[in-house]
Amino acid sequence: MSLPPYRCSVLPEWIDYNGHMSEAFYVLAFGDATTAVMAALGLDEDYRTSSNWSLYTVEAHVRYLREASLGEELEITTVIVASRPKKLHLAHEMHRAGKLIATEEILGLHVDQASGSTIPFPAAVLGRIEAHGQSTRDWSGRSITA
């Protein structure tokens, strides 16, 4: 089972002094894609409000491969790379007109917001995570080197 893609358009306020999408807005779009994945897994707003638990991104790695311009349509697809009782490793790919333009992988921790401590995902959420399976991307897990 695949996670639903997230779609958005490049907005005027996302354009930088070079006339292309600023790096901060790639991260914003990827963050919105993460929120959509959370909803698909049952970690939506109602869940967060009723439980006071949420997914916190604790590490991220972005690759900027191609530029995006004003008004272009973006599609972000996501796979679950790995999961543990308290952790979720996601890999996002951003496409424009079918071409890969950026990637982001994140490590998220399931956190009790009242205590600030990590806690295991509820069984129902773990079941949904497991139902999506795990998949790797050839670019995930890389480190930055000079």
Model pLDDT for residues 99-135, shown as the tens digit of each residue: 999 999 999 999 999 999 999 999 999 999 999 999 9
Cα torsion 90, 54, 59, 94 to 10°: value is: 40
Average pLDDT of every residue of the chain:
96
Looking at the predicted structure, is the pLDDT value of residue 20 above 90? yes
Looking at the predicted structure, is the pLDDT value of residue 57 above 80? yes
Kindly state whether residue 12 falls inside one of the protein's structural domains: yes
Q: Which domain holds residue 59?
A: 6-131
pLDDT band, residue 142 (cuts 50/70/90): confident
Kindly state whether residue 41 falls inside one of the protein's structural domains: yes
pLDDT band, residue 145 (cuts 50/70/90): confident
Kindly state whether residue 146 falls inside one of the protein's structural domains: no
Mean pLDDT of 39-45: 97
pLDDT of residue 69: 97
pLDDT of residue 2: 86
Kindly state whether residue 136 falls inside one of the protein's structural domains: no
Burial of 79 (0-12, 13-18, 19+ CB in 10 A): buried
Kindly state whether residue 138 falls inside one of the protein's structural domains: no
Looking at the predicted structure, is the pLDDT value of residue 81 above 90? yes
pLDDT of residue 146: 80
φ, ψ dihedrals at 78, nearest 5°: -135, 140
**CB contact at 8 A, 74 and 38:** no
The total number of structural domains that make up the chain: 1
pLDDT of residue 74: 98
pLDDT of residue 143: 85
Closest C-alpha to 141, from 118, 107, 109: 107
* CATH code: domain of residue 76: 3.10.129.10
pLDDT of residue 18: 94
